[in-house]
Chains A and B, each alone.
Chain A
Amino acid sequence: MTPLAPQALARELADLRARIAQGAKVVAAIRESEIEISLTPKDEVWRSDPVALYRYRPVVERPLAVPVLICYALIGRYQMVDLERERSFVGKLLAAGLDVYVIDWGKPKRAQRWHGFDDYVNGYLEDCIAAVRGRAGVPAVNLLGICQGGVFSLCYAALHPDKVKNLILTVTPVDFHADSGRRVPGSGYMNLWTRAAREADVDLMVEAWGNYPGPLVGFAFLMMNPVYNIAKYSTDLVRIADDPEKLKGFLRMERWIADRPDHPGELLREWLRDLYIHNRLAKGDFEFGGRRVDLGRVTMPVLNVYAAEDVIVPPPCSRGLAGRCGTGDYSEIEVPGGHIGTFVGNKAQRILAPAIVDWIRRRT
């Protein structure tokens, strides 16, 4: 291999300068409309406080009778499932003939400071499911939960099993301690941080912040991979600087990343204390609204999707559902890539939507 020579370095630096200059021109030429996200047509069909329920306009004449309701997390926005036309998870479900609804949790304000699991699961989610059931004229829906939204969905299915026909969980933590004792480099930060904290730390955090600010949530995620999250704005960005399409994709993702809602204080307390610290969901003693979440009551078919390289929800934490729920029809699918890559990664995109559609169709 030829050693790095001063002349070669100078040439490379000149080339770098040219690429950055070209990149600046490309960015300047990009219009706002070109980096909009969540473009699949939809209609608001229900709203309460900041929470809205949307129905995506079906693209087939007779979509499947039992709708799919997507329940996203409050950490980030639901647009992840419809980031761009070319790699829209929702678009693929619609094209396969499904009737798709999605919950937008909106941007919680101070009025949501005291909202906890009971409000989100037995309140908003229950109301959304009632709205979908009413519109479709069906007794139960296909519920598709993502990450924290997967935990909401699982809890709902355990508390109201008669209203969930099929349960699909994606990158959802269930056994929050399943990764204990094995530190995988770069993986499971939230689990490590919360185990290093005390219950009093969680109380202190909620007391101090009320709703936990979205930018701090974003910072926590940045700190899970600090070097590459900074490198992507330098080396990675330079690599795609002269490619308008890749740059637009980059900016769309940045737009989604930057749109972090504040996290309701009480929900955060329950999420960190009861689930991350005490692992109550897996232990079977998670309670809210005066009822215990008994996973044995999850008797409908369950599809559990996890990402092979998920560092936010390590695969063992998702797979911890196996053997804990009461269904006799439990399946798992592993998709390549990481947590978010499950919905936007090229490899995962080829697997995820077709697998879910096929699984649902075989149970409808």
Chain B
Amino acid sequence: MAASAPQPGPDPFAVWREHFESVQRQVQEAAQKWRQSAAAGGEGGAAFAAPLAQFLDTYRRSLEGFALPLGQGEDPLLAGLRHVFAGAHDAVGWGLYTRLAEAGAGLARAQAAARDAQARVWQQVAATWETARRRLGEETAAMALRQESFRDLQDLLDAWTRVLDAAAHEMLQSDAGLAATAEANRAAARLRLAQNRVVELWSELLNVPTRAELDEAYRLIHELRRELRALRKGEP
């Protein structure tokens, strides 16, 4: 899938400078509060807890601030570290682990998206079930008015199957049903791609030929065989 075009963002250096200054201010404030708390005779965990929590919160928010200009919102610490140490990671062979971590996060996101897409289909299935239940109820009520009934349990099951089948096709062939099915398929394919990416990296790590490498080899063989076939048949 094509990614959307990157939007021009603010100057990262200006943003970072602003955040550095903000962190500096907040750290100073936190330290000041901690000193005041200690001078007031506070001791034990309680004396440290509030300023420490505030300090950590400030630290966390500052990392988020650093991460935003990098376009990484989900894991600011990792994004910051990757930016700083990516070159060194690759140089010493640790970059693969970073990519594995990213692929793992991508897999988790794809799994969540696939579950959401499936849940939307199941919502429609539930609505279909309800429609069928209501229709069978109406049918049964009308039969009762005519003083009719089902011959036996099998007859009742056949009637249920008939109304459920009709409702299922209405749902599956509706625009909403088709859209939900299409999205579930897309999500399943993206999940598969995310799984492939993880396996690919593990294969690389274990020095096992990857799927992409095998596919490429097969593509080459395929093209050579086509050329051979054309030569045998005297085609240009």
Q: Mark A112-134, 1 if CB is under 8 A from B, else 0.
A: 01110011001100000000000
Would A110 and B214 count as touching, CB distance under 8 A?
A: yes
A185 / chain B contacts, CB cutoff of 8 Å = 166, 169-170, 173
A205 interface residue (CB < 8 Å to B): yes
Picked from B166, B182, B192, the residue with its CB within 8 Å of the CB of A196 is B182
Across the interface, which residues of A come within 8 angstroms of B158, CB to CB? 235
Q: How far is the CB of B172 from chain A (nearest CB, A)?
A: 7
Q: Mark B162-180, 1 if CB is under 8 A from A, else 0.
A: 0011101110110000110
Alpha-carbon distance A239/B181, docked complex (angstroms): 33
Contact A231 B172 (CB under 8 A): no
Q: Given the interface contacts A204-B190, A210-B215, does A183 sit within 8 Å of B172 by beta carbon?
A: no
Q: Which of B52-60, B64-72, B149-157 contacts A (4 or more CB under 8 A)?
A: B149-157
Q: Chain A nearest CB: distance from B128 CB in Å?
A: 10
Q: Select B189's contact among A115, A189, A204, A227, beta carbons within 8 Å.
A: A204
Residues of chain A within 8 A (CB-CB) of B164 are 227
Residue of B nearest to A16 (CB): B153
Q: Report chain B residues within 8 Å CB of A3.
A: 149
A186 interfacial contact with B, CB 8 Å: yes
**Is B88 part of the binding interface, using a Cβ–Cβ cutoff of 8 Å?**
no
Interface residues of B in 209-229 (CB under 8 A from A): 211, 214-215, 218-219, 221-223, 226, 229
Q: What is the minimal beta-carbon distance from A222 to any residue of chain B, in angstroms?
A: 12
- Do A193 and B178 touch across chains, with their CB atoms under 8 A apart? yes
- How far apart are B188's CB and chain A's nearest CB, in angstroms? 8
CB proximity of A199 to chain B, nearest CB, Å? 12
Instruction: Give chain A residues whose Cβ lies under 8 Å from the Cβ of B186.
Output: 201, 204
Verify B193–A4 contact, CB threshold 8 A: no
Note all chain A residues with C-beta closer than 8 A to B218.
Answer: 110-111, 113-114
Please name all residues of chain B whose beta carbon is closer than 8 Å to the beta carbon of A118 when the two chains form the complex: 226
Is A196 within 8 A of B181, CB to CB?
yes
Give every chain B residue within 8 A of A192 (Cβ-Cβ): 173, 178
Which of A7-15, A57-65, A312-320, A343-351 lies at the interface? A7-15
- What sequence of 0s and 1s flags, for each residue 186-209 of chain A, a beta carbon within 8 Å of any chain B beta carbon? 100100110011001100110111
In the assembled complex, A1 has its CB within 8 A of some CB on chain B: yes
Does residue A33 face the partner (Cβ distance < 8 Å to B)?
Answer: no
The answer to whether B149 touches A1 (Cβ under 8 A) is yes
Whether B203 sits at the interface, judged by CB under 8 Å, is no
The answer to whether residues A204 and B1 also contact, given A119-B226, A235-B157 and a CB cut-off of 8 A, is yes
A4 touches B150 (CB 8 A): yes
Say yes or no: B215 contacts A110, CB within 8 Å.
yes
With A114-B219, A183-B173, A235-B157: A8-B152 Cβ-Cβ less than 8 Å: yes
Known contacts A185-B169, A204-B186, A210-B215; decide if A111 and B221 are in contact (CB<8 Å). yes
Interchain CB contact under 8 A, A189 and B172:
yes
Select one of B152, B168, B188 contacting A12, CB under 8 A: B152
Interface size on A, residues (CB 8 A): 42
Contact A231–B161 (Cβ < 8 Å) = yes
Residues of B within 8 A of A110 (CB): 214-215, 218
Interface status of A226 (Cβ within 8 A of chain B): yes
Which of B151, B153, B193 gathers most chain A CB within 10 Å?
A: B153
| Cβ-based interface call for A364 (8 A) | no
A6–B123 Cα distance when bound, in Å, is 34
CB distance from B233 to the nearest CB of A (A): 8
With contact pairs A114-B219, A196-B179 given, residues A210 and B149 touching in the complex (Cβ less than 8 Å):
no
Interface of chain B residues 109 through 155 with chain A (CB within 8 A): 147-154
Chain B 78-115 against A: per-residue CB contact (8 Å), 1 yes, 0 no? Answer: 00000000000000000000000000000000000000
Q: CB of A228 within 8 A of chain B?
A: yes
Residues of A within 8 A of B193 (CB): 204, 207-208
B1-39 contacts to A (CB < 8 Å): 1-2
Alpha-carbon distance between A225 and B166 when the two chains are bound, in angstroms: 10
Would A200 and B1 be within 8 Å (CB), given that A110-B214, A118-B226, A210-B211 are in contact? yes
Closest to A122 in B: B229
A49 shortest CB reach to chain B, Å? 9
- B165 lies within 8 A of A227 (CB): yes
Determine the residue in chain B with the shortest Cβ distance to A209. B192
The answer to whether A209 and B189 touch across the interface, beta carbons within 8 angstroms, is: yes
Specify which chain A residues have a CB less than 8 angstroms from the CB of B148 in the assembled complex.
Answer: 1
A227 touches B222 (CB 8 A): no
Binary flags per residue of A218-234, CB closer than 8 Å to B gives 1, else 0: 00000101111001000
> Which positions in A face B, CB cutoff 8 Å?
1-4, 8-9, 12-13, 16, 110-111, 113-115, 118-119, 122-123, 183, 185-186, 189, 192-193, 196-197, 200-201, 204-205, 207-210, 223, 225-228, 231, 235, 239
21 pairs from A and B in contact (CB 8 Å cutoff):
A4-B149, A4-B152, A12-B152, A113-B219, A114-B219, A185-B169, A186-B173, A193-B178, A196-B178, A196-B182, A201-B186, A201-B189, A205-B185, A205-B189, A208-B188, A208-B193, A209-B189, A225-B165, A228-B161, A235-B158, A239-B154
**Given A122-B229, A192-B173, A223-B181, 18 other A-B residues pairs in contact with their CB atoms under 8 A:** A1-B149, A1-B150, A4-B149, A12-B153, A12-B154, A13-B153, A111-B222, A113-B218, A196-B179, A196-B182, A204-B189, A208-B188, A208-B193, A209-B189, A210-B215, A227-B161, A228-B165, A235-B154
